[in-house]
Amino acid sequence: MMRRMFRTRLSLSLLALLALPALAAVAYAKTYDVPSALGSTLAQTNAKTPLAILLPSRLALDYDGRTYASGSGGRRSYSLSLAGARNCGGANACFLVTFTATRDGRHGPWQKVALRGGRTGWFRPLSCGGSCSPPEIEWVSRGNLYGIQAKVSASTNAGQRRLLVAAANSAIGAGPR
């Protein structure tokens, strides 16, 4: 009898532990208005680059807090980022999302995905080695290679792909910002 109660309690405890990551992932998910979150950094970066800035209107991130924007631009590229801390510098702990474009860039050898307007995109799911690299999508538009790398609120490869394809389609549909 005691053994059965112990096994039952152990089984329930293990099930509860397995459910915690799923609950935690949901607890931190928030959808952000991307242009608003980037604020004046968007205008400052736009003034420094001739490349069309393509951004999704909204993006669901695995984060629920204040964001800090940064950006840089030049003749051949730009990069806009949101982080969960000031002066993040791309560190994994505070990185949220980066939007990039490079003139004549080459896409990664990743999974092909269909995008708006008959475009082909390339998706790379979350990958972990010594550290983890958030999922990413790239596509070519206006002769430039565009990319979005983000800590999205989906925990599966299919969910990450769905969210990033939707973000890329939103960026393409919105046009230059």
Residue 58 token pair: 């909204």
All structural domains of the chain with their residue ranges: 28-174
The strand pair at 29-33 and 136-141 is best described as: unpaired
pLDDT digits (tens, 9 = 90+) for 89-131: 766 689 999 999 999 888 888 999 999 999 999 999 988 887 7
Give the pLDDT confidence score for residue 29 in this predicted structure. Answer: 82
E strand segments, 110-154: 111-114, 120-124, 127-128, 132-133, 136-141, 144-150
Q: How confident is the model at residue 3 (pLDDT cuts 50, 70, 90)?
A: low
Other C-beta atoms closer than 10 Å to the C-beta of 133 total 14
Give the pLDDT confidence score for residue 133 in this predicted structure. Answer: 87
Give the pLDDT confidence score for residue 26 in this predicted structure. Answer: 44
